[in-house]
Amino acid sequence: MGGWQQGDARPRRGVDETLNIRAINQNARVVELSGGNQQKVVIGKGLVQRPRIVIFDEPTRGVDVGAIAEIHQIINRLADEGLAVVVISSYLPEIRNLSDRILVCRQGRIVEEFSPSEATEEKIMYAAVH
């Protein structure tokens, strides 16, 4: 995977292809990209460090529907490659689709654990507030 040059807002060749970052032209600055492509740039910047664990906090908030699917594919691919992936999201369908297990926190403590097959929106919300 490519990377970023110090002080450069643009990804070097390779990262944009791996993460499917699309821009009007190769010299586009990150601020000129769509919200989904900006989010993929942020993901790429974190992956340059070759982490063993990746924490996604609201990874698809504010991005278009097409980018959501692509970001989910990236997250799943990272997990399939053996990285530990933690996803924090208030969007319950996202949590249910991406998770191998779901932990519900209330007041900073884990209060419930579900498998994706047993987790329903009702069960998750009940655990979060009761």
Q: Check: CB of residue 86 under 8 Å from CB of residue 54.
A: yes
> Does residue 51 lie within any of the structural domains?
no
For residue 118, the enclosing domain spans 100-130
What is the per-residue pLDDT across 90-124, written as a single tens digit (0 to 9) for each?
898 899 889 999 999 999 999 999 999 999 999 99
| SS3 category, 113 | strand
Whether 119 maps to a domain, the answer reads yes
> What is the structure's pLDDT at 49?
85
**Over the stretch 21-64, which tens digit does the pLDDT of each residue have?**
777 667 677 777 777 778 888 888 888 888 999 999 999 998 88
How many domains does the chain fold into? 1
Entry pTM: 0.74
**Residue 72 belongs to some domain of the structure:** no
User: What are the residue ranges of helices labelled H in 81-129?
Assistant: 92-98, 121-129
Q: Residue 120 and residue 114: Cα distance in Å, rounded? A: 9
